[in-house]
Amino acid sequence: APAKAKKIPSRGNNVELTSDGEVEEGSWEMEEEEDGSSDEMVDDYGASSSEEEELLPIEKAALKQKSDRGGLSEDDSEEDEEEEEAVEEASKQKMGQKEEESTDLQLNLDIDEQFKLPTNEQIEREDILFICDIHKLYACSSPPDLHIIHQRIKGNMEVLQDFVVKREEGRTRQEYLAVLRRDMAAYYSYSDFLLTKLMDIFPLPELINFLEANEVPRPVTIRTNTLKTRRRDLAQALINRGVNLDPLGKWSKTGLVIYDSSVPIGATPEYLAGHYMLQGASSLLPVMALAPQENERILDMCCAPGGKTSYIAQLMKNTGMILANDSNAERLRSVVGNLHRLGVTNAVVSNCDGRQFPKVCSYLLWGVLGGFDRVLLDAPCSGTGVISKDPAVKTNKDEKDILRCAHLQKELILSAIDSVNAASETGGYIVYCTCSIMVEENEWVVDYALKKRNVRLVATGLDFGKEGFTRFKDRRFHPSLKSTRRFYPHTHNMDGFFIAKFKKFSNAIPQAQKEPAVEAATPSTDPGTITEPQPKKKKLEGSKADKEQKPPQTALKKRHLLQAQRRPLKA
């Protein structure tokens, strides 16, 4: 008698495949009569074409496998059972992995919900692992987990933003800040000193953006040399060579930003012909603030490697005179090479210490030139604004380096102011800039210059950038420091920079007011001593000050000429 097959579950859900692609047994149940055989059943199924048309392809495959298993031996059935057990174990392992993932997600949710400071033992253990990782001591079991540190930074930031609600009982804000500073120093590889300085300058959310921006290089930018070509022609020539570029921005008429290039951007025929200069976007801003005019006398006190000097010559259209000075003779080689390549013909290169420039070059400065119309001072600094170019700044700077740079910058800015002629018809301007973001090297130096010389701050002429600090911690600066400009990598996508512009309104150097006060206080300390009457002293001092403070300009020129004539005779 023919065998009859009966399908117990519904047709849509009756077939279950294992991970190996096999159909599980038991999905089909066959009802056979007592005298039936498996061969007849296969023949009947093979003969019933109408039923095969109704079955899905996967069901047909299941029927074939079922028919093949009907003629297997007992050994094969045992192997099938083992395979089924292996499949079940694999499914259990998958379920276990899913459960572990769910528990991990739950732990992350718990961390996000409530952040807890690490214990002292955890901090000490992480410090040991961090030291081992720095010095490559492989005896340690494992390096510190940066993912955990990053999660802790995020949680700590959330608590500090809403400290009253989310803080842990018995914990102060200083403890949270100490852990945050330590975690950021470990995650971003900064020294504790520099990170403390940065935390004083930036709010915490902005500080994270600044640290992240320093891990990414700034885009490559070039400046078109309009002495030889136009920006449109240069862009088309570079595009034809496979360079992907765009205009730098609305604020620059000569800048181009390079995204990628199939040729070396510093070795193209256009570069060798002097059609452009590789120059950072932030280096264009001081020259734009200086705004040199044609036929003026300009001093670039720290000119190497010559990018700003060539830009000044470009704006002056090779008229007037530029004195390009630098104290490092080796760096002047690149200045001379760039000036020749770019076609600059109105520049004179000198090797002199900028601090002694007004004294050493007094005859040239006042006897021949009559003072400069404008001075650009790109002072040496700590380089905290160009960390993306020099990551060593993260760890090799300390308090002594910052103060040493600040002292040098104060000397240079006074020398730059003394080199400018306040009576210039078109000029009398000084631009001071650094590639640092430290307040000690920027606002402190500018405030010092305002007290020591007859200058005032004026607008830089730049439409963007953040205002300088008028107060920092316990210090208060002149209110006019709002006209200075700060540029950051995370806000303007350029190197960190500071720019201040001065206007000199008098060539006289103000005298210190401390000496008369000291002399007036000496009689009260020693009442028994007999001194001259005070009014006579005041009259003498006042007459001397009146003569020394405001000498006529012709007298200054005669004095410098006489000094220049006497020097060779003494030698």
Q: What residue numbers does the annotated binding site for S-adenosyl-L-methionine cover?
A: 302-308, 326, 353, 378
Judged by DSSP in three states, 375 sits in: strand
d(CA 300, CA 354): 10
Residue with tokens 């040493």: 404
d(CA 291, CA 284): 11
d(CA 195, CA 211): 10
Per the CB < 8 A criterion, the answer to whether 495 and 439 are in contact is no
Q: Which residues does residue 458 pair with via DSSP β-bridges, in sequence order?
A: 501
Give the helix, strand, coil percentages of the chain, each rounded to 5.
50, 15, 35
Task: Say how many C-beta atoms besides its own lie within 10 A of residue 394's C-beta.
Answer: 18
Burial 266-303 (b: 16+ CB within 10 A, else e): eebebbeebbbbebbbbbbbbbbbbebbeebbbbbbbb
Residue 114, token pair as written in the block: 């409530």
CA distances from 372 to 330, 364, 426, 460 (A): 26, 11, 11, 19
Range 474-478, long-range pairs (CB < 8 A, 24+ positions)? 475/444, 477/443, 477/444, 477/446, 477/447, 478/447, 478/450
Q: Which of 361, 405, 433, 435 is catalytic?
A: 435
352 catalytic? Reply is no
CA distances from 105 to 100, 148, 225 (A): 9, 14, 57
Q: Quick one: CA torsion of 90, 91, 92, 95, rounded to 10 degrees?
A: 120
Task: Say how many C-beta atoms besides its own lie within 10 A of residue 137's C-beta.
Answer: 11
The 3-class SS string of 15-35 reads: CCECCCCCECCCCCEEECCCC
Residue 47, token pair as written in the block: 């003969």
Q: Where are the beta strands (DSSP E) in 291-437?
A: 297-300, 321-325, 347-350, 374-378, 429-434
Residues annotated in the binding site, as ranges?
A: 302-308, 326, 353, 378
d(CA 59, CA 23): 9
Q: Which residues are catalytic?
A: 435
